[in-house]
Structure 1
Amino acid sequence: MNPIRSFTLNIPEDALVALADRLDRIRWPEEEPVADWSQGTKLAALKELVAYWRIEYDWRRCEARLNDIGQFTTDIDGLSIHFLHKRSSREDAMPLVITHGWPGSVIEFLGVIDELVEPSDPDAMAFHVVAPSLPGYGFSQKPSSTGWGIERIARAWVELMQRLGYDHWVAQGGDWGAAVTTAIGQLAPKGCKAIHLNMPIGQPGPQDMASKDPKVLKAMQALGFYREWDSGYSKEQSTRPQTIGYALVDSPVALAAWILEKIYYWTDNDGSPWDALSMDQVLDDIMLYWLPATGASAARLYWESFAKFGAGTVDIPSGASAFPKEILPAPRAWVERTLTNLVYWNELEKGGHFAAWEQPDLFVRELRACFAKVV
């Protein structure tokens, strides 16, 4: 018997005092000799964030919000899994398991859960929302042995939905959440009716190398930029996660710099990360890495599964929403090679990699439009 346990966050005040002490004793590097972010997180931007973190940021606000939604843990395959779970009052609500990625967390979904669960429009589709923390992320247990890749996580999420009593449900995800959700689709468990991705997964084929299609050209250009300039984090985390883990677990500034760079490059902004997300939103997410010290354990998912990202095909009903500032945009033709039963596709005019976080209203609309086709 593996019971569902209620989980209440109450971080000891000593941990917050210790963080403040570390933020008071930073040894800063010199300013970057370039005017842009091409060498990484800009010193001025990071100093601004850290000053806010030290003086104005209120962790207890975030803690109260998570507790208000409803937090739980349960043991699956020998690992304690943390998850948010909020049920709708609507009898016709569809159960939904929604999965975050890196450098995100369940914080990405704080702006969409209430509307998904209790729609402001009584005629809109409602959901019972389940948002697990990936193993080694947030307040899920850190695996002590290898083998917790995306396929195993997908099986754990199927078990979680069954354990919660949901005999029919849908799944959604972006980033690692897209990989896990794709793996759920490949498993095609009896209860899963459809999946939706906000990071459409697709790879170019030989026929795309000489294509003149503007969407293909844009995707190929983005892939080239990612490989040459934007993938250093993934190369390090997929080959030497333990090495970078020391900095991410020991130094709050290293952790903030590591994450803020991706907030800047992966959001739909006009030159500042704060165009897309507030400092409170970013720090809430950073705290879900700092407080449980998951910098190394989260990075290990890259070591486990980065080479398998997006492999295989999905035959159950699937949908995808393409946001314009996605880091690896995939044209519909590429996506259809993976999602062979694509019942919903939409290209949006704004938004980036963190769709639910950046554009909560559009994200909710996309989920309803997709899943209405299969429910």
Structure 2
Amino acid sequence: MATNSSDFDCSSVESLPKPWLLTAAFLVFGMAIFGTMANTLAIVALARSKRLRTSPSTAFVINLSFSQLLMCSVFLTMMGVNAVEMLNNGRVHVGMSGTVFLVIVSRILNQGILHSIAVIAFNRMVAVKFPLVYQQIKTARAVVIMLAGVWVSSFLFWLPLILKYNLGDAEYCMAEMRFEGENRLGMTFNAVICYLLPVLFTVVCYCVILVRFSDCHHVGGKDHKDWGEPTPTTPTTLTFVQHHQPWKDEVTQTILVVFVILVVCSTPHSVMRALEPYLPIENSYIWALIHLLCYIQYVVDPIVYVIMSPRYRQAFADVIELCCRMVRRSKDDQYRASPEHSCQNQTEHTL
């Protein structure tokens, strides 16, 4: 490939046989198409459901799905095109500036995904640990502020590269993104911090939820299946027991699974990217598999929503049913407007 980005550089896979490149192109295009459709369906289902719209967490899940929609529809599509060009021509014709722009956007979107999950975990932690405070902050204004904070912080994390790109120094940006520039150590540290901070923050939030669950389980003296029953506890604990059930809460469980999938899929890619200047991966097969594993996370989250949450599942079913009705109505309208239907009506009228 003509460029040298760790995300777009195909020089690492030039030695792959054509069947592998064809398989990679097929998988990436498949993930791009399925991920685009699934995340679009998730956004429509969540936004359309009156029951789900009442939850503040829904806005963050929609934001998460929107980020993954952009990654699938733009970034994965571009990666599939790159694989096809590599298969046909042995190289990829992508300009340096365009490559840098797409890589920076993908970094910001990935950062937004990490921050969205962290904010959802934080909201669930506040709901569990400080239920009275949560009642005060779960307003539309607070949600908008937190969503703005997600993207502002994601933008600021990669601001140095953005400033250099705006100054037209694409070569510098490319070298920095591969940690080969003058500030190689600083960029490596920045990449590690960008990944570790939101991940560790999310882990801490779920640890607090787990501890709170354990405390209320012991204080209440009952099994968690009986949380709906009043128990002789303090008012704060009683409020939690009656209204907040973290491990039964669908959003908490769903985002926990999404977070685990993100860590499993993205950690190898993040480690590879950070260590690339010091311990480059020479095996092209490993390089390709690590990237494919990283891309899977953008596709499976809508499946997790359907599996984990009956409410999400019902919302998805309603949207699919609506789409089926619209398709049937469209086919009926086309049939009524067809010449065959007109001839049939005339024949019946004559008879």
- Report the TM-score, using the length of structure 2 for normalisation: 0.24
Bigger Rg, structure 1 or 2: 2
Q: Which one has the bigger helix percentage?
A: 2
Give TM-score scaled by structure 1 length. 0.23
Q: Looking at both structures, which has the greater relative contact order when contacts are Cα pairs under 8 Å and sequence separation is at least 6?
A: 2
**Larger strand share, 1 or 2:** 1
